Amino acid sequence: MKLNEKNIFLQSKYNVTAFFYDILDYPWERRYRKWRPALVDDLRGKVLEAGVGTGRNLAFYHQDVELLGIELNAHMLRKAEKRKVKARCDVTLINEDATVMSSVPSGQFDWVFSTFMCCVMPDDVQALAIEQFARVLKPGGRFRLLEMVYSKNERMRKKQAAFAPFVEKVYGARFDRNTLRYLEQSATLTVSSTSFLKDDTYLLIEGVRD
């Protein structure tokens, strides 16, 4: 795997976090598992899941999907391999950096899908990942990203701010990433819709490659 040097720290962080990830994530997963089926239900064809993590989405893809899941951390990927047996579709999982994707061919995918990857990724390399999304999608291919952002509600934002140091230390995630802005600045990707799955913190971004 060719690794962007700015992701070395993130990769090393997950060398530890991976062993406890599913336990640490359990309180949130009680909510997320209700969303996962609908998030992937309409995806068909060749799908790239960027940041497949421990494979929580794998069981919900339609049987007509040909899935390539990429993950920066090998320990996380091994957990996803165990969940692959629950998938109804063909699944290939590889250790790959989403900002590089050196082993992923150009213009081959109908969909790029990701949950909570960009909010983990260092802000100064997010634009590189978005360039890769554009590169691997077919013309007319679509993308769907779910991210966490700071609420505009003052009370909610204070709660997030209090929890933010833990989230960043354990997951590398931040609520102030600029994923939507980078997508809107892309020369070849067009954002077609944004919506929130809960309050104004779980941001769903959808769009198409021109």
**Cβ contact 1:95 at 8 Å:** yes
Q: Express each pLDDT in 153-207 by its tens digit.
A: 999 999 999 999 999 999 999 999 999 999 999 999 999 999 999 999 999 999 9
Rounded to two decimals, what is the model's pTM? 0.96
Please state the domain count of the chain.
1
What CATH number has the domain bearing residue 97? Answer: 3.40.50.150
User: Whole-angstrom Cα distance, residue 142 to residue 66?
Assistant: 15
Q: Structural domain of residue 68, as residue ranges?
A: 5-209
Give the position of tokens 């819709």. 193
CB neighbourhood size of 31 (10 A): 11
State residue 124's pLDDT score: 85
